Every structure is written in C-alpha cells, then in structure tokens.
Structure 1
Amino acid sequence: MSAQPPVRDRILASATTLFDATSIRSVSADKVIADAGTTKVTFYRHFPTKDHLVVAYLEDQLARLQAAIGRERADGLDACTVLLHLAAANGDAACRPGFRGCTFINAAAEYPADGMVRTAVGRYRAWLHGVVAELLAELGVGRPDAVADQLIMLRDGAMVYGFMGDPSAVTDSLVTAGRAIVAAHLDAPLSA
C-alpha cells in the first residue's frame, strides 16, 4: 500500500481536478473536501477560505510554468526556442480534450478586481510579461515591453479561441502570428 500525499497536497490536487473540469466558482469547498477525503476542520486548517485555496491553486499553476521555463533556460535553449515552446504549450493546452480556457483568464473573470484571487492572477500576468519581454530583448526586439503586450494579447485570444472555436488551429496560428509580430520589430530576420 502506497502512502497518501500530505493532506494539503491532496486537497490542492482535488481542487485542481475539479476546477479544471468545470470552473472555480462552480466547485464548492464541500465538493473539494469530499473529493479529497478529508474533513471541514482539516480543510479550513490548511485553507481559511475557498479564496485561499484558489490562490494556492493559481500559485501552483504558476510554479509549474516557472519551473518549465527555468528548465528550458538552464538547458541553454535560446530565446526564440523558448518563445516557440511557450506558444506550442499554449496551443497544446487549447487542443486538449475538455479544455475550458486559460486558468488565469477564467479566474480573473470569476473574481472581483480587488480581491486576493485577482492579485494572484496579477502575479502570473506580471511574471509572464517579464519573461516574454526578457526573451524578446535577447532576440534584439525593439520595445520588448510593448511587443510582449502584443504577444500576450495574441496568446489570450488564442486561449479563448481554443475554447470557443477550433482548437486544432491554435498552435499554428499562434506561432505564425507571433512570428509576424516579432519579425516586425527586428532588424534581422528570425531563424527557422
């Protein structure tokens, strides 16, 4: 018999599965508690409110993304490759069965602007913008912050399109449009 993960991890894993399957707002704390096989007392010891659980969920998603980018950078991948991998990862997410849109966009849509959940979304957005701008600067793109805004808007639209439209078109379209945006701000052409 294998040991169960710590209860906080079990609660977070249950929340992730349930949130990803429907939406954050539609999943009650009671449903997470039942799915995790714990008690209300234990749940609230780890997460004083459902919003605290949602923040932990978002922070976990962000940590996974940061780790993936960190591994790519540690492996010595060039900025262009990392940007292409980001686009492909977003396209792959939009193509997976049951995709319901970007975790962070959905959370922002479901919560008020002045709460802890939107603050967590803001941390993700700031991190993403910083990473994209840094990669663009490495490529020699003029005005990397402005171009990062453009690429992130493109990515956001692709995530919505993947949920609302034809997900199979997302990856190629995202890469093609992203290359056009970057190329428009480069002095030298992008490599293949």
Structure 2
Amino acid sequence: MAELTDSAVRPTTHAKVRILATADTLFYSEGVHTVGVDRIISESRVTKATFYKYFRSKDGLIVAYIEGRDKRARAALQDVERRHDTPERRLHDVASMIATEVRTDSFHGCPFINAAAQFADPMHPVRQAVSIHREWYVSTIEDLFRGMGHPRPGDAADDFFLARDGAFSGANLGDPIAAQTALLRAVHRMIEDSAG
C-alpha cells in the first residue's frame, strides 16, 4: 500500500472559511472598497461559482467580515470577564488590549469605523452590522462603569469611546506611542472619577 502524503491526510480548509479569511485580511489591510471580488476569489483559491454559492454579493461578504470581527471582539471581552473579577480590572484590561493593538505592525485602525466610513447610508446592511457591534460594545463598557459606581455611566462610556476612537485614529495616522499613552491616561482618569 502506498504511503499517504501530508496533503492527502490533511483535509483542505473549507472554501467558505478560506474566502472569509482572505477577505478579513484584505479588507482590513486595504479597505473594503479597494479589494474586489475577483481578487478575493483568486487569493482564496475558489471558483467564482463557489464564491457566489456562499456570498450573493460583495456587500454580503463585507457584512460577514464585520460579523466575524464582532464575534472576535465579544470573545475577547468574555475572556476579560473570566480573567478579572472587578469592573475596574476589566476596564483596565480592555484599555490595555486596545493600547497593545494600536502598536502592532499590522494595525490599520478600527475595522468597524473603517468599514462604516465607506458606506454613507445608515440603513445599508454594512452600516447596520457596524451599529449592532457598536451598540453592544458601548452597552458593555457602560455596564462596567455602572458596576464601578460611576455617577454617570453613560457619559463615561461616551468618554471612553471618544478616547478609544481617538487612539485608533491617532495611532493609524500618526504616533502610536502617543495614542497609546493618551488612551491609558484618559481611561485611568475615568476610573478615578468612578471611585471619587
């Protein structure tokens, strides 16, 4: 009996998974409008028919990309909740994760803000997918401030996102170290306000 080669033993990655992984990389690094379907098809090594079997349109793929990023963000925050037992520690950890992210070589800004900026219509499915993510994230951060006893948790969450979005933009356009430092300083002040 002939020996099986590694490629014969190892199953190939499912076509839909390859399409999503390719789109995730290209959309984030180059922008959702810049990358065409033909390039995604080519780089994910699928046929056009296979692509359209799973995604009716490029917009459908962009929504799937946003939903995938949303799932990762939710999983990351669930991990934070498992690691820390107080809202203060959880918020510090979230800020630390963001501060670390803005200094990576592969950082290209917030994938949600980047995608939303390319769709003007707030009713577009991509904008709606971004809004679902944003509403969940804001609510989660507001709950952390509420858990700390902040007198105005909604305002604190707004301040947090202003600092976060500013850090993402500042790191992407300018100085990641300054953006990281400013974010951590702002979040530290917000936590102190909760204690005060």
Give the TM-score taking structure 2 as reference length.
0.90
Alignment of 1:116-127 (within 5 A): 116-127=125-136
**CA–CA distance in 2 between the matches of 1:115 and 1:179?**
36
Match of 1:65 in 2: 73
**Equivalent in 42, 45, 70 of residue 37 of structure 1:** 45
* TM-superposition CA deviations, 1:35-85 (whole Å, max 9, x none): 100011111111111111111111111101111111222344321122112
**CA–CA distance in 1 between the matches of 2:67 and 2:85?**
25
Alignment of 1:34-183 (within 5 A): 34-112=42-120, 113-183=122-192
**CA–CA distance in 2 between the matches of 1:182 and 1:75?**
19
- What amino acid is the match of 1:9? V
- What amino acid is the match of 1:15? A
- What amino acid is the match of 1:83? L
Alignment root-mean-square deviation, CA: 1.4
Any stretches of 5+ residues in structure 2 without a counterpart? 1-6
Match of 2:11 in 1: 3
**CA–CA distance in 2 between the matches of 1:72 and 1:40?**
40
**Equivalent in 20, 27, 36 of residue 19 of structure 1:** 27
Structure 1, 1-10 or 102-111: larger mean CA deviation: 1-10
- What amino acid is the match of 1:142? P
Quote the offset at 1:156 in angstroms: 0.5
Any stretches of 5+ residues in structure 1 without a counterpart? none
Please identify runs of 4+ aligned residues in structure 1 that moved more than 6 A: none
SS at match of 2:108: coil
**CA–CA distance in 1 between the matches of 2:131 and 2:109?**
17
Q: 1:181 to 1:74 in 2, by over 3 A?
A: closer
SS at match of 2:102: helix
SS at match of 1:170: helix
Between the two proteins, what is the percent identity of the paired residues?
33
Give the TM-score taking structure 1 as reference length.
0.92
* TM-superposition CA deviations, 1:107-143 (whole Å, max 9, x none): 1101122200000110111011011001111111112
**CA–CA distance in 2 between the matches of 1:102 and 1:143?**
26
